Amino acid sequence: MTIIKSYIKFLFHSKNEHGVHSPFVFDLVTKCFYDNTKYPEYETLKSYRKSLLENKNTIEVTDFGAGSRVFKSNTRAISKIAQTAGITPKNAELLFRIVRYFQPKSVLEIGTSLGLATSALSLGNKNSDIITLEGCPNTQKQAQVQLQEQNSNFQNIEFVNTEFSSYFKTLDLSPITHHLIYFDGNHSKKATLDYFEALLPTISNDSVWIFDDIHWSTDMEEAWEIIKNHPKVSVTIDTFQWGIIFFRAEQQKEHFIINPNKTISSHLFERIRF
């Protein structure tokens, strides 16, 4: 499979903090990626995940993206969606640390799903304003109910049920600044690049953009290469699961391949099947 070949290539080229000469990226890797603190928020993340894994109800899913490698039907058990399609526990903790590290005031998530990543975004900075977009009304409703009605920690989230490209077309994005954007809504080359271009007017020098599943397919890898080479992008980090980009005008253009776990992680192979 292409994704296995890509992972082997990633392992061969990836570095830890000892291969990073940029002070900005070195600090991010050592103080955030490799931060071993057992934050109490991790227990909240685990508790929310547990509530989804124990939910045996089914919902009818409207899929606007590239589809699923697991589900053959649009009628899906909530527990199975959380088990196979959500952010992994390790990446949820890393996403929490990234938000905690940068403390973005405004966060946009493209693709709520059941809110596993949303919960990490929310806990990372409880003073941030989070807008999370979801195309499927039933999935969005389930996430909103379980996040906002069952836990008082998640009160800084605005849920929007919308088709993503339509949402971007109806807004005047130029006066908006999203300090952090998490792209996890449509794993296709065209959609990823369309969202990238549509949201460029919202960037600031300190913006952080995270693209999920950059090695999900050959098309996604091609999209990632185009994004890396865009003139407004100055620094990129490939963690295999994510492509993280920065727009720091004062920084020389550099691309980094970083293993966020320091060791070979098995969680990738949990994701390969879909």
Q: How far is CA 165 from the centre of its chain?
A: 18
pLDDT at position 258, please? 94
47/115 Cα distance (integer angstroms): 13
pLDDT at position 20, please? 81
Question: What is the pairing mode between strands 75-77 and 208-212?
Answer: unpaired
How far apart, in Å, are the Cα atoms of 91 and each of 68, 98, 120, 239, 248? 20, 10, 9, 10, 24
The chain-wide mean pLDDT, for the chain, equals 88
Per-residue pLDDT of the chain (274 residues; tens, 9 = 90+): 678 888 888 888 787 776 788 899 999 999 999 999 999 999 999 999 999 999 999 999 877 554 444 445 688 999 999 998 889 999 999 999 999 999 999 999 999 999 999 999 999 999 999 999 999 999 999 999 999 876 778 989 999 999 998 888 877 766 778 899 999 988 899 999 999 999 999 999 999 999 999 999 999 999 999 999 999 999 999 999 999 999 999 999 999 999 988 654 444 444 443 3
pLDDT at position 64, please? 59
pLDDT at position 272, please? 44
pTM of the model: 0.90
187/150 Cα distance (integer angstroms): 30
CB 165 within 8 A of CB 198: yes
CB 88 within 8 A of CB 116: no
Measured from the Cβ of residue 174, the count of other Cβ atoms closer than 10 Å reads 9
pLDDT at position 21, please? 81
pLDDT at position 262, please? 66
Convert the pLDDT of each residue in 139-151 to its tens digit: 999 999 999 876 7
